[in-house]
Chain A
């Protein structure tokens, strides 16, 4: 007997809960974010893991639900996260959620105390009495308990259980679900990295944290699969895999919010202890930004470049909140970026950009005039004029080919791409000299990684140098918690 509601298929973003700077719910921004997504999705999930249900009070969650219902009424169904560690609290809250009008409750396994599977079963058996459609939610990364297939199979028989959402990323588990309960309840994938694989295997839909950022692409993938164009779906998934991997593996909440912020939505930050530059690191931030720029999702704004030499021009620049309206004085601009993993192939770039005829240019000329030796900096490009300097003295031929071969290739590619997307304005190219101090660890081995990490670091370093980042605010936010990797004894 199928208990699967007709509406429970397709793409459901697990919407972030936006906060103001004073950590209160930003209702206006939340509504805007909903409207950004609504054209592309089949329903909304509020107060899921990405919605930070665990950091919200009961009152706050109910308010979020009310807003969501107001905005979605008549448009699409609303699923509400209702989990607590205890049965009594989950029961009470789920009941309130039912009375408020949610279409279904998404209930993560009781967490923290690690009850046995029998106790988990009885937990849901109790919730079953409420009468609201229940979606079982397997997310062992957070709850610490992984549903066993026989528990999930047994639970699927309960009258009001209408679906299971599996975020484990455990494909064999998902296949067991498809084997046991497909057609009886909806099976939803919650792990962004395996959406196409899961849809191809026969799941009914997806609840996704990256659905905050690319709901349109997920809908396209879903449509492709349901219309039988698997190749298209695979291609789209692969093109966005890096973005969704970062979002899925860095705690989802801050990642989704920063992605939204880059696109111009005021999602605010996650509540503490999640912080900027924490689990979703600054390196991840830069990667997401590079990706969204290439998707054309970062809005452009007019930025005036005042070179300091008397010249100035205004360009359409793919800007984020921190991008200044005016980028000034090119006497000596500096920036830095680091990119890994793995450990041995990390890239660390110190960047200088300066005017032709200025101190950076003079330093480059002096460097070129010095006698030849292996560690001598090299001019690797004429336009823009770009010098690569080894940060650590080169001692072997292998190091030399890593640095002036692989790493330099990555640096050059980054410059080309930055020009192509408008992050390094064409008008600037003939005016400046760029110096990249490049670090390659003597133990590095994987050539492609050296190149690629240097590519990523260079893209980030260019943006930071032009935008004078980190800003004082960014530095202040990290003034106590910063963790320098070499600060500690082995």
Chain B
């Protein structure tokens, strides 16, 4: 029977590998990160997927490992990633890890050429024969392209130095099947942040979570809650991070984690090429991460210098070239509406009229005068489905980043379009105006509005009110 490891439980961050600008290893950055997470974790993992192991040499893996062991003063176990397509390569890596003082190695299913289940078994078997170090198997079908077969795990779990499985698949049915099959002979650790608490509640003994680089204290709290039977509390932690860990997982993993670490004040550089910001991780997604970290209290929100337009309705369009005098002279329709409260409050101010008059001129002018933060966009229900009468949405407050822009041009735009269409179908807006008129909408949303769903609902309400006011 294999001896289980006493220490293999709790929270282990798979440390990102800090790089300098020239992509060389930044040892000081690694040390800073170890100090940042140290108090909240039960051990460390180096050169995992989040640590970008496929982009590193065996020598570099060793150097990172030594740095982490040195910085943690040997007080906590360090699990060394030792994954490669070939068995021989893995043996070599495990040997080096052992020499450097690793407590265990973490080894993925062999990847790229797809070995048979027999090949997978032999891979781990030969590793245990060649190097005397505890082995944690690593199921990560998202990158390997295949699941490690449960039958293979069942058999491998009889080998003394096979001590655990890290399951990153996110497939809870698979995890539970493994737990049932191995009958406690090895530990199973969850590696998927999105189902961390459910997995711990289902019998996983620990968690290797990429977001534990960023908020290890939250995962520690969740873990303590699970082991002391406070299910509700544990699930609350999971719920609070659900969106941000999903974003991490779907947007470059290590790359996203590094961006998040930078936001919380930790400079660990960025990922090695070909991964880059603007590719796997887009600026608008980073802005989303930033807001989530603000919500979690990890980042201090900037002071908001912000107010809703409050001038007399007819004078609210002066900035885009429509004065109260023009409104009166051309008998333009105006309407306003608000909905929601606090950061979810939205305000809509609309003005509309014949294309042949000033509205047409301003519409054309707005479209040919792009200014950063005030980009005017044609309202669509969805791409290739423009609303008529043609409607431009002009943000009242400058949009600072693509995420805010997405709020206005996503849920905001869809809701404006839907309100107009419903206005036409209900007869409030005359069908003839679809061709003859144009509409300008000033949409004001709070820069820290968080919830897309609420945004849609509130803009729809506010826009409907504005339409009723303008067209009755």
Contact = CB atoms under 8 A, between A and B. Distances in A.
Do A and B truly interact? yes
Interface of A: 277, 281-283, 286, 328-329, 331-332, 334-338, 348, 350, 352, 354, 359-360, 362-364, 366-367, 370, 375, 377, 387, 389-393, 435, 437, 442-443, 445, 460, 464, 468, 470, 472, 474-476, 478-479, 482-490
B172 interface: no
B322 interface: no
B345 interface: no
A483 B417 CA distance: 12
A268 B344 CA distance: 44
Given A332-B363, A392-B375, A475 B368 contact: no
Contact of B364 (A337, A435, A474): A435
B262 interface: no
A435 B384 contact: no
B369 interface: yes
Contacts of A352: 364, 367
B283 interface: yes
A363 B365 contact: yes
Contact of B367 (A282, A363, A443): A363
B302 interface: no
Interface string B213-253: 00000000000000000000000000000010011001100
A336 B368 contact: no
B320 to A, nearest CB: 13
A478 B382 contact: yes
A483 B383 CA distance: 9
Nearest to A392: B375
B386 A435 contact: no
B380 A336 contact: yes
Contacts of A437: 367, 370, 378
B378 A393 contact: no
B45 interface: no
A224 to B, nearest CB: 36
B interface residue count range (under 10 / 10 to 19 / 20 to 34 / 35 or more): 35 or more
Contacts of A328: 435
B356 interface: yes
A363 B364 contact: yes
Interface string B394-414: 000000001001100111011
A389 B385 contact: no
Interchain residue pairs A-B with the least CB separation, the first 7: A486-B410, A338-B383, A363-B364, A484-B414, A282-B384, A336-B386, A393-B372
Given A350-B378, A489-B452, 5 more contacts: A331-B356, A332-B438, A359-B364, A435-B364, A484-B417
Interface of B: 243, 246-247, 250-251, 278-279, 282-283, 285, 288, 355-356, 360-361, 363-365, 367-373, 375, 377-378, 380-388, 390, 402, 405-406, 409-411, 413-414, 417-418, 421-422, 424-425, 431, 434-436, 438, 451-453, 456
A359 B361 contact: yes
A468 B434 CA distance: 9
A362 B385 contact: no
A488 B372 contact: no
B449 to A, nearest CB: 11
Contact of B414 (A442, A474, A475, A487): A487
Nearest to B280: A443
Contacts of B411: 484, 486-488
A389 B367 contact: yes
Given A479-B421, A488-B410, A359 B360 contact: yes
Contacts of B364: 332, 352, 354, 359-360, 362-363, 435
Nearest to A370: B369
12 contacts: A286-B384, A359-B363, A364-B368, A391-B370, A435-B364, A437-B367, A442-B278, A475-B424, A482-B414, A482-B417, A484-B382, A484-B383
A486 B409 contact: yes
B203 to A, nearest CB: 31
Contacts of A442: 278, 283, 402
A337 B384 contact: yes
A470 B388 contact: yes
B243 A489 contact: yes
A359 B361 CA distance: 5
A362 B361 contact: yes
Contacts of B372: 375, 393
A484 B413 contact: yes
Contact of A490 (B250, B361, B456): B250
B355 A332 contact: yes
A475 B279 contact: no
Nearest to A347: B383
Contacts of B369: 363, 366-367, 370
Nearest to A308: B356
Between A334, A354, A464, A478, the greatest number of chain B beta carbons within 10 A of the residue's beta carbon is seen for A334
A275 to B, nearest CB: 13
Given A486-B406, A487-B410, A336 B278 contact: no
A337 B386 CA distance: 8
Contacts of A331: 355-356, 360
B117 to A, nearest CB: 21
B381 A332 contact: no
Nearest to A469: B386
